[in-house]
Amino acid sequence: MNADLRRATRSDGSVRTRDGVRISYTLHGDAASPRRAALVHSVAMDRAFWQPVAERLAKDTAVVTFDCRGHGASDKPPGPYTVEQFADDIADMLTQLGWDKTLIAGASMGGMVALAFAARHPSRTSALGLIDTTAWYGPEAPKNWAARANQAMEKGLASLIAFQTTRWFGDYFRANNPDVVQKCIDIFLKNDVPAYVEACHMLGRADLRAALPALKMPTAVLVGEEDYAAPVAMAQALHDGIANSTFTVLPKARHLTPLEVPDVITAELDRLLKRAAP
């Protein structure tokens, strides 16, 4: 197989975590590449969230995308869930893939999970990408996330679509990319409601602020200028708390920037891979 074909390969698989949960993943690119990246999706999305970025990075990087527990094709065990548990799921997956060290990056919920992974497994984290995310959603978080969970239970996931789409994407993007918006809606509506509820409560409880000072790996903090789900101030707090971090505000972008501006996110992750610890 020539190098171009190896770089173009894509394979699906699944692993079992330490507590028996099946995690489904896709490996993009040349599995033998020394450049490795694991990408964690947003809440209520699945590994397809990262497809535009993964296919760009995979030209010279081994990239693994996967469905977090409770999402997509992965198992949906009863809760409660924690971001630390999600992080250990990734560690178990990477061990079975034979990856000792990787760049880990995530968006929104995925950013909190990536942050938890870096805190729990620093020796396995060559670099950290924190995109449209936070270490803590604030004192009102348990109440706000519980309200979203309760609405899903009482009125169904479809009742949240108008709220979600305006948070996910800016007005211009929604008007000009209806296919991307519809794909996200379709994925959102396929969620298992009990698992979605547990993920909401997880994010309401999560508080990773105490972990920030200990993080020493190269880190990039990225946020959409118009993000009001995890606003610029939350990203600034991440940057201020992590010594070896860069901070980038993405003009006119909102909350799901890997889908809004995949070329920009790919370029930022490529720069981060070049800074990654060997």
Q: What is the pLDDT of residues 86-125, one digit of tens each?
A: 999 999 999 999 999 999 999 999 999 999 999 999 999 9
Alpha-carbon gap, residue 83 to 130, rounded angstroms: 14
Asked if the model's pLDDT at residue 4 lies above 80, the reply is: no
Beta-bridge partners for 250: 224
Contacts with 170 (C-beta within 8 Å, 6 or more apart), sequence order? 224, 226, 252, 253, 254, 260
Q: Return the pLDDT at 277.
A: 85
Residue with tokens 């099946």: 22
pTM of the model: 0.96
Please state the rounded mean pLDDT for residues 212-220: 98
Q: How far is CA 76 from the centre of its chain?
A: 18
Residue with tokens 């707090």: 237
Contact 110, 41 (CB under 8 A): yes
Alpha-carbon gap, residue 210 to 198, rounded angstroms: 23
> Cα dihedral sign for 243, 244, 250, 251?
positive
pLDDT band at residue 1, thresholds of 50, 70 and 90? very low
Question: Which domains are delineated in the chain?
Answer: 3-137+206-275 (3.40.50.1820)
Label the pairing between strands 10-16 and 22-28: antiparallel
DSSP element (H, E) containing 66: strand 62-66
Q: Return the pLDDT at 121.
A: 98
Contact 67, 74 (CB under 8 A): yes
Q: Return the pLDDT at 10.
A: 87
pLDDT tens by residue, 186-203: 999 999 999 999 999 999
Q: Return the pLDDT at 31.
A: 87
Contact 94, 62 (CB under 8 A): no
**Edge-to-edge strand ranges of the sheet holding 10-16:** 10-16, 22-28, 62-66, 36-40, 102-107, 125-131, 219-224, 245-250
Angle formed at CA 234 by CA 239 and CA 209, multiple of 5 degrees:
70
